[in-house]
Structure 1
Amino acid sequence: MKNIFKLPSMLRFVCLTLFATLVVYNCSDEKFKESTDETLNITEYLRANTDQYSLFLQILDITDYASFMNTYGTYTLFLPTNEAVEAFMTDYGVSSLENIPLEDLQELAKLHILEQKIETTSFTDGKIATPSMQGQFLITGATNSADGSSITVNKSAKITTSNLEVGNGIIHEIDKVLIVATKTLAQTIEDEPSLSLFTEALKATGWYDELDRPITYVDSVPSYLSVIAQTNAVFEEAGYSNLDDLKARYSHLNDPMNPEDSLNLFVAYRISPGLNYLADLAVTPALLTKAPLEVISIKLSADSLLINEETFNGILEKGVQIDREPSDETATNGVLHLVKENYFIKKRLPAPVYFDMADQPEFRQLSSVFRVPGMWASLSDSELSNMTWEGSPSITYTCFDLGSSSRPGWHGDVLDVLRLRDGYINNIEFDTPVIIKGQYKVWISWRQNSRAPNSVRAYFNDTQLARTFNMQEYGDSSTPERVLESQGYKRHIDPFTSRYNCRLLGIINVETTGRHKFRLQSLAYAGGNSWFDVLEFRPVDMDQLYPKFEAGGDGLIYE
């Protein structure tokens, strides 16, 4: 400031004027446009339409959820009308929402909210991939009536107005309030009169107590269970009218509580670890059960899910159909399905497992990305439950544009790993799908990249496989296929492009049926991406070339 007064008078005047202007400007109130979008958020939309939604708005106000539903984000709200909430209050036996315990009201509100924007075009006949904020999944399906076709939620609520765009998501209006499941699997089964014999079998074998336990967590993994139950009618058709009939047929040790008793195994074979809705079963070739080392195979045939339908030695073994309509019954600790016929443990032979390495459950939940051409998404180690790796970078799911020069592999997608090398992402470990015990040849396929590692080693359950593979190698399009196979390579997709390659890693002996660990470790420098397609476990006595995989599609191609 002292230096200003040493300047010539005119220049001193200009500087002082400029200084005063700056002071006045900085002391005045700043006026910024706080929002660039005038679209109402969810809470604002409800307040603007109280004639239709005032009661659900009251639920949000009572639970203090109205504020966060007015923040910017991406939500899906299944919004009950006032008539729907009034009907719920009548069933609940209250005249005011304030008479409902706060915790119950909070759980109710959260069941109607998903933290992802999901339009009806993304619905399937089954579970929505993203769980509700309450933690339970919602089930959608199509129903026909005299008024035409409509979409139902949790088999009871009809969507009356869909895909209402709001500032922080999307709203689907429904005509009934969704009900939170409050019973365990054991209670759900026991409360259904048609499952009384199955309930007796659960109690006789001790499995009732297991199905009555609340959810626990081990290393953040919940103890959910899935049950495939049989009605009394199914038992009677198979010749079993009561528990004594079941004991006479299956209890070979006359001790159903003994885990080695056949009746105990009969029940255990119908209980699976994990939360497996029909939508999950449809993409699960083999389902692990609580019967030690035993699995059930699942096959999707048209619109039917079949248990244990296999062809052995050219003979078709007919499967048992899951009863879709009453299935997908949510319980607090799992999900319940029903089956149309009686079935028991089958001696399972080794069966091929085709593991799309990009098909991870967390990527699958991203319905706007998963297997949508041209889309991609990245997730961190902590966000992927069936993968771990050393290093900080995220792993990317990439689905190629079918019309591009990328020429996609099976399903059109790859698991995209940036710089699989020491000091970046040195190794990646996967939980495999369920593999039936036996001997297998292991094949891995990838999309070629000249900057990917030229030497990668594989491990199965910490046992090193015989061969490494070079991700810079192109596929061989000229050598006869059987000659190429003898050299440890093959063309795994059809139509084939040399941008993809497939290498035999070795032969493994799977000693127990279940999920296993598979690890990849780079032995060389990499300056670019590694793109993984399919990991195959084929029984040693199976044709190793066929079936092939449909390039850019979901199908299998036979010779």
Structure 2
Amino acid sequence: MKRKIYSSFLTVIILLSIGFVSCLDPAFEERTNYQELIGEFLENNPDEFSMLVELLEKSESMSFLKAYGALTLLAPTNSAFEKFFAESEFSSLSDMDREDLRNIVRYHVITDTIPSTEFVDGRMNTTNMFGHYITTGTFFRDNQAVLMFNKYAEVRQRDIRMANGIIHSINDVIRPELQTAAEVIEADSRFTIFTEALKRTSWFDTLHVGNGPHTVFAIPDAVYKAEGFDSFDDLWADVDPDEGNLLDINNPMNMYVAYHILDKNLRYVSDLVFDRVGLTRVRNEVVTIRPVGVNVLVNDDIFAGIHEPGFEINRDESDRTVLNGVLHVMKEDFRIKERHPFAVYWSVTEQLEIMRMPGVFRRPGDAVVLQPGDLENITWTGGNIFYEGRGGGAANPWVVHGDLFNIMLRPEVIPWVELKTPVLAAGDYKIWICFRGSSAERHPVFFVHFNDIPLPNVIRTSPYNPTNRTERPGYSERELESRGYKFYQWNPDDIAYTRSDDNDPDITRNILESNYIADNRVFAMLAGTITVPTTGSHALRFVGISGTKEFWLDMVHFIPVDEDQLWPRVNTKNGRLVTKEEIHEAYEVYQSQN
């Protein structure tokens, strides 16, 4: 473990953690629950946790874990500390100053209760008290599945439930990441060519002292050498034969390096897979992300029916948290490519502020009140907006991930709402607004504006429309599309109703015969066709016209005009895209088993 490295970014992290430091000696509430608290459990199990107790006492942190709250502790065992001291410059906790000790504590405490059932291969939804994400993943050792944090701390015992949270015991101490992205890359002998490229183009300084977060796709020397580049000069001559001014942001070599850095965005591999696209530090240039089996590929695209092979991320070496971002390692190099419009299926509730709320995002519970100014990328005036998670209010299994926004969109309450869109590549798109319908008589009616340009179709959220099975005269999915409506999602629990046969292969028509979607009125309306002038994020605004009921917003789809507007659909359980063929196959499996 390195001694403290003082930088502006670390200072910010420590300031953000001041709430933790100030809670080191909380006043105890009158105790009504005699189940053990986390701190008491550690004290009562010295054979396993005596060194962790010593750490908590020396850092003046124990009282925090003896107070009621909602915490997750990643608890290193005594053997974990012995391993830590054998590998570090310290021989005991007494060799470390209090700030070093507190950094270790902050790295192992999360202000949320996270059971192992919520672990996925990727980062946790909530940062630790240091401000960093801990990654979780399953690895195989001696033909046994092993769960690890940050790819090296093995979980020995999980889900030890206490009165104030959950403990997961681990066999290693998770080291606080105190080096910047630039320092980590420079210190790794595998990246000498990429390091020189960063330095010669000045991007090294950005990754070292610049404000983060940064997401970097680093290229190992072995990859360059496999392509015939034994040095930076070899690479430079290939990327920029004219060998111009490397500090010019329009220089091909400068742009090449910038294309390997995302634009002030912290994205782990699981985030990249979900986003499907990332805006790079090259103006108007993006990378696309596509999972293929267990592999994740950069710029693996299909254009005009032709497959353009992508470039694989080394998942085993990626998701390396650094002080000011995250580092990924590539198995292959990639260059800037001509970009064409691509579909974006946007789950609007994925706002960073909500995702960081302990115990809230996509979990059962009451609606969360959001006031104007609470969200960076959604602005509005007037009243409050409500986030409804799984099982809350209008949220249900027939909206994607079971969560949505509840918006009183009308001139008297919330006259308008403006959303900052995900990255869109320049081109022409159709915009679909996806929602749950409201009361027929008092449903919200509103305009949609894109970059302050009003779109032609007025959105009416009445459930009595061509999609409702009691209203529609047997429209096919293409007939619905021609009228500006579509079904955008598929719930696997509806598999029993996903009938099809050779005479009537239209899934939409069949699924409506006995499907809750039709009764619960979850559908999408076409707002209009837009031209995205430049690649990047843009403004989407809803302007209320009339209505007294809620607008229940789920998703917005941006689909290129020359692509199928109806397929794929979105799996309501996990948000993944599903094709008509995959649904047919799922039904055939269901039918064979029933």
TM-score range, shorter chain: 0.7 to 0.9
Distance (whole Å) between structure 2 residues aligned to residue 452 and residue 271 of structure 1: 48
Q: Larger deviation: 544-553 or 130-139?
A: 544-553
**Cα pair 1:125 1:142 within 8 Å, conserved:** yes
Shift, 1:90, TM fit: 4.1
The answer (yes or no) to whether the contact 1:444–1:534 under 8 Å persists in 2 is yes
Asked if the contact 2:217–2:329 (Cα under 8 Å) also holds between the matched residues in 1, the reply is: yes
1:514 corresponds to 2:536: yes
Question: Is 1:448 equivalent to 2:448 in the alignment?
Answer: no
The 3-state SS of whatever aligns with 1:523 is: strand
- TM-fit CA distance, 1:369: 5.8
Residue pair 1:127, 1:138 contacting (<8 A) in 2 also? yes
SS in structure 1 at match of 2:384: coil
2:288 to 297, 303, 310: 297
Letter in 1 for 2:254: N
Change (3 A) 1:413 1:428: farther
Deviation at 1:360, TM superposition (A): 3.1
Q: How does 1:304-343 map onto structure 2 within 5 Å?
A: 304-343=295-334
**How far apart, in 2, do the equivalents of 1:531 and 1:108 lie?**
43
Give yes or no for contact 1:252–1:261 (8 Å, CA) kept in 2.
no
Aligned to 1:525: 547
Q: Tell me if structure 1 keeps the 8 A contact 2:399–2:436.
A: no
**Deviations, residues 209-236 of structure 1 (Å, cap 9, x unaligned):** 1111154xxxxxxx30100011111111
SS at match of 2:132: coil
SS where residue 89 of structure 1 aligns? helix
Residue aligning to 1:5 = none
Aligned twin of 1:391: 382
Q: CA deviation at 1:368?
A: 6.1
CA distance in structure 1 between the aligned counterparts of 2:145 and 2:547, rounded to whole angstroms = 57
Tell me if the contact between 2:348 and 2:555 (Cα under 8 Å) persists in the aligned partners: yes
Partner of 1:48: 44
Kindly provide the CA deviation profile for residues 85-135 of structure 1, in whole angstroms up to 9, marking residues without a partner as x.
233234443444233122111111100000001111111112111110011
| Distance of 2:86 and 2:387 partners within structure 1 | 49
Equivalent residues in 2 for 1:415-494 (5 A)?
Answer: 415-450=404-439, 453-476=443-466, 477=472, 478-493=474-489
Of 68, 71, 76 in structure 1, the residue corresponding to residue 72 of structure 2 is: 76
Counterpart residue type for residue 320 of structure 2: E
Give a deviation string over 1:274-326, Cα, whole Å, max 9, x none: 11111111101111001111001001122111111111121111111100001
**CA gap 1:50/1:147 in 2 versus in 1, 3 angstroms:** farther
In 2, distance between residues paired with 1:241 and 1:474? 66
Q: Hey, what's the Cα distance between the residues in 1 that align with 2:412 and 2:457?
A: 23
Structure 1 residues 405 and 249 mapped into 2: Cα distance closer, same or farther (>3 Å)?
closer
Partner of 1:245: helix, strand, or coil? helix
Aligned to 2:85: 89
RMSD, matched Cα: 2.5
For 1:542, which of 527, 550, 563 is the aligned residue? 563
Partners of 1:549 and 1:171 in 2: how far apart? Answer: 35
Which residue number corresponds to residue 120 of structure 1?
Answer: 116
Partner of residue 251 from structure 1, selected from 212, 216, 240:
240
Rounded Cα–Cα distance in structure 2 between residues aligned with 1:443 and 1:509:
14
Q: 1:207 to 1:186 in 2, by over 3 A?
A: same
1:212 equivalenced with 2:208 (yes/no): yes
Q: Tell me by how many angstroms 1:536 deviates.
A: 1.3
Shift of 1:156: 1.3
Scaled by the length of structure 1, the TM-score of the pair is 0.86
Cα displacement string for residues 530-558 of structure 1 (whole angstroms, at most 9, x for unaligned residues)? 21232111112223333344466643334
Q: Alpha-carbon deviation of 1:525?
A: 3.5
Secondary structure at the aligned position of 1:190 is classed as helix
Identity %: 33
Contact 1:76 1:113 in 2 (8 A): yes
* In 2, Cα distance between equivalents of 1:405 and 1:424: 19
Change in CA separation of 1:459 and 1:245 when aligned onto 2, cut-off 3 Å: same
- 2: distance between equivalents of 1:505 and 1:211? 41
Q: Distance in 1 between matches of 2:131 and 2:178?
A: 12
Distance in 2 of aligned mates of 1:377 and 1:321: 40
Structure 1 Cα separation of the partners of residues 539 and 77 of structure 2: 49
| Cα distance in 2 between the residues matched to 1:207 and 1:353 | 30
In 2 relative to 1, CA 119–491 (structure 1 residues): closer, same or farther, beyond 3 Å? closer
Secondary structure of 1:35's partner? coil
8 A contact 1:453–1:471 mirrored in 2:
yes
Q: Is the 8 A contact 2:399 2:522 kept in 1?
A: no
Structure of larger gyration radius: 1
* Cα deviation code 1:491-542 (max 9, x no counterpart): 434545341232221221111111222121212131x322123211111222
1:363 deviates by 4.3
Question: 1:59 offset after TM fit, Å?
Answer: 1.8
The SS at the match of 2:113 is coil
Alignment of 1:52-63 (within 5 A): 52-63=48-59
Q: Which runs of 5+ in 1 are unaligned?
A: 1-32, 216-222
Deviation at 1:475, TM superposition (A): 3.9
CA contact (8 A) 1:421 1:453 kept: no
Using structure 2 for the length normalisation, give the TM-score. Answer: 0.81
Alignment-mate amino acid for residue 136 of structure 2: T
CA contact (8 A) 2:394 2:552 kept: no
Measure the CA separation in 1 of the matches of 2:66 and 2:374.
27
Instruction: Using the TM superposition, give the Cα deviation of residue 50 of structure 1 relative to its aligned residue in structure 2, in angstroms.
Output: 2.5
**Amino acid in the other structure paired with 1:411:** V
Q: Who is 1:179 aligned against?
A: 175
Shift in Å at residue 54 of structure 1?
2.0
For structure 2, the 5+ residue unaligned runs are: 1-28, 467-471, 491-510, 582-594
Deviates more, 1:378-387 or 1:459-468: 378-387
